[in-house]
A and B are shown apart, each in its own frame.
Chain A
């Protein structure tokens, strides 16, 4: 297939493209999911700590 003789190789070629397509499909399906802000307090605390570490650089 695709001019590639060994099935182990053409399958790899095909799977690479299919897995990238899977990523795109997942992204479209989940586009508006995960918007909850339950852990906002922890996120802000973490970000302030991270900012302090960044200042060391």
Chain B
């Protein structure tokens, strides 16, 4: 125990030291840019990666992999191909240029200024402020589950203690996005995940024998899962089955597509001075994501082999039905003590870097986007009260996150993450992409697309998609049944329905409505 405590204290001292240096010196991305210099591409890539990857990806989706099997690796492919390659090489460069020309500092501000609409900025700010805590809760639950299992602390105590720790970190300057801190946290995560995959393959008897063993375990799939479409951990679920729809529409596409419109990631592109930083950060980012989600999902699947060899049971049985506990149990029960302690630091790093950026976005969404520039913009002078509202937004984000974490049911991490990613995709993606590429996209088109994507998503989740509709209970209250749809609609994710509608609305309404002034479009396209 003393060893664990000493390591955690050393880690926290390093984070505090890097934070202090960043506070005293010129180490945030803006400082580099003011000085006319670039941060090292490794720092940029790690900073982006550490914000992207959290305990949600490693513990939540790693746990989901123990249930769904290796088919979930399609999400890793989307994370690398869409979330890194397309995001950096194509969208990132234009986002950077457009953000600078329009002097936009938040994602809602980028959309609002592109379409000259304070409504879009304000509405987007409200959506992000209210729903980001769902994703933050997924990250917080991941960390709390690890503490619960590894340190044998009750879940609620772990959750409240870690939330208090995060609040202190945030007050101490953790929101400033000091790039060295993020890079340090990303590096710890990278090293630990590489050790994790090497050790796991060694435990399971080598790369191909491990996969083969998992293949040969297909007969151990519980009957109730087989009925839902599960065909073993090295096979995709049966086409069109409930399991297939959840894996494809919620887990893979929900997160895989939604990543392109993540507010906390889009703003990272604006912290880059020139395109060459993105060019050089891209390979580092690609390898980093492979090492994070690729390893987490492979290890998650292979925990079945190792648990079966050790205890004669598959992962979901060992975890008593809570997939969020699979990775913590695997690390705590089957990994050497030294590794488990270091992995605790990696999870601390993963959750701190993501949560701080989520709280940052929550605060600026309420303070800058809703209060100062959006809905309150007509009455409020620049800067007046914004700092107070921003800080209030951060406190409310933290509190909402804790409340969600306490009320969410077990095994929720992957689904909660997918809800936020899917909602962002359906609400913002068409306006964001057309804003970068289509001069003909109008303000009315953008407003309709944003509102349409959001309303369809909410309606689908509230009345049709069984998992959320059952949890929300509004359909039950109004119509006496938990969902108004029947299979397969009850298992098709909201983004699958809402995103095409949002795209369609953007195109049709833009073709029929008044164009934005030529001068404004010229300004937007000055460097595009």
**Which residues of A sit under 8 angstroms from B298, Cβ to Cβ?**
13
Q: Could you say which of B80, B279, B360, B390 contacts A33, with CB atoms under 8 Å apart?
A: B279
A4-B70, A27-B284 provided; 7 other pairs, C-beta below 8 A? A8-B235, A9-B235, A13-B298, A16-B76, A20-B290, A22-B81, A35-B276
Structural contact, B286 and A46, CB atoms closer than 8 A: no
Contact A20 B33 (CB under 8 A): no
Q: Mark B382-422, 1 if CB is under 8 A from A, else 0.
A: 00001100110000000000000000000000000000000
Main DSSP-derived SS at the B contact region: helix
Contact with A along B195-213 (1 / 0, CB 8 A): 0000000000001111111
Given A26-B85, A39-B101, A54-B30, residue A19 in contact with residue B80 (CB < 8 A): yes
Q: Is the CB of B33 within 8 A of A24?
A: no
Which residues of A7-22 have CB atoms within 8 Å of chain B's CB atoms?
8-10, 12-13, 15-17, 19-20, 22
> From residue B289, how far is it (CB to closest CB) to chain A in Å?
8
B84 within 8 A of A: yes
CB neighbours of A12 from chain B (8 A): 70-71, 73-74, 76-77
Do B80 and A16 have beta carbons less than 8 Å apart?
Answer: yes
User: What are 6 A-B contacts defined by CB distance under 8 Å?
Assistant: A8-B235, A23-B283, A27-B280, A27-B284, A34-B93, A39-B101
B103 touches A57 (CB 8 A): no
Q: B270 contacts which chain A residues (CB < 8 A)? A: 46, 50
Number of interface residues of B (CB under 8 A): 76
Count, chain A residues at interface, CB 8 A: 47
| Choice from B73, B173, B278 contacting A16 with Cβ under 8 Å | B73
Q: Select from chain A the residue with minimum beta-carbon distance to B252.
A: A12
Give B243-294 interface residues, CB cut-off 8 Å to A.
270-271, 273-280, 282-287, 289-290, 294
Give min CB distance, B216 to chain A, whole Å. Answer: 9
Verify if B28 is at the interface (C-beta below 8 Å from A): yes
Q: Inside 8 A of A24's CB, which chain B residues have their CB?
A: 283, 286-287
| Cα separation A34 to B285 with both chains bound (whole Å) | 18
CB pair B105–A9 under 8 Å, yes or no, is no
CB distance from B292 to the nearest CB of A (A): 11
Given known contacts A2-B207, A3-B210, A3-B215, A19 and B85 CB-to-CB distance under 8 angstroms? yes
Measured in the bound complex, the distance between the Cα atoms of B297 and A9 in whole Å is 12
Among B73, B208, B277, B387, which residue has its beta carbon within 8 angstroms of that of A3? B208
Query: Closest CB of chain B to A34's CB: distance in Å?
Result: 3
User: Which chain B residues lie closer than 8 Å to A40 at the CB level?
Assistant: 36
